[in-house]
């Protein structure tokens, strides 16, 4: 699977670790930056990740910042993206099964690397449940005027 990963400065170390983990699992990974812990703005990287997902250049995304909140908000500004902020594997699996999430967001200051890897495993192993969820998910990309 092609997976895009992006962070802000607060999550650059976790991003590097998760990038290597995803490569070890056999995925093709697009690291969208940043490369250093120099201060950057999470919306810039969230918007970049969202555009890569929306353009079909990656099937899934991993978005990281200090809390995971800001970058998930930025990603979700793109109607083609459904980013879910998670902190444990059950919410990661439910985000896929019920919401067809295509981006997982996590907070580097709130989650350890082992838990982040467990969340990624659950996120990637779970399919969309379809059925009663399909109409609801369609509404996420088409809000009423």
Q: Where are the domains of the chain?
A: 2-140
Look up 119 and say whether it is catalytic: no
132 labelled binding-site residue: yes
> pLDDT at residue 10 above 80?
yes
Look up 27 and say whether it is catalytic: no
User: Does pTM top 0.85 for this prediction?
Assistant: yes
> pLDDT at residue 87 above 80?
yes
Q: Which two tokens stand for residue 32?
A: 């969208």
pLDDT, mean of residues 39-51: 98
102 by Cβ neighbours in 10 Å (0-12 / 13-18 / 19+) ranks as buried
pLDDT, mean of residues 101-111: 97
136 by Cβ neighbours in 10 Å (0-12 / 13-18 / 19+) ranks as exposed
Catalytic residue (one of 27, 81, 98, 133):
98
Q: How confident is the model at residue 135 (pLDDT cuts 50, 70, 90)?
A: low
Are 68 and 96 a contacting pair, CB within 8 Å?
A: no
136 labelled binding-site residue: yes
Q: Which CATH class name applies to 2-140?
A: alpha beta
Among 75, 70, 12, CA closest to 38 = 12
């Amino acid at each position: 699977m092609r997976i895009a990963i992006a962070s802000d400065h607060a999550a650059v170390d976790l991003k590097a670790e998760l990038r290597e983990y995803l490569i070890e699992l056999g995925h093709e990974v697009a690291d969208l930056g940043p490369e250093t812990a120099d201060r950057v703005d999470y919306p810039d990287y969230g918007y970049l990740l969202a555009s890569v997902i929306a353009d079909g250049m990656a099937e899934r995304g991993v978005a990281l910042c200090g809390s995971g909140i800001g970058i998930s908000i930025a990603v979700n500004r793109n109607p083609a993206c459904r980013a879910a902020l998670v902190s444990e594997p059950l919410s990661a699996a439910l985000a896929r099964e019920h919401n067809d999430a295509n981006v997982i967001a996590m907070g580097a200051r709130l989650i350890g690397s082992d838990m982040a890897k467990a969340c990624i495993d659950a996120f990637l192993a779970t399919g969309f449940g379809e059925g009663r969820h399909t109409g609801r998910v369609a509404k996420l990309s088409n809000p009423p005027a």
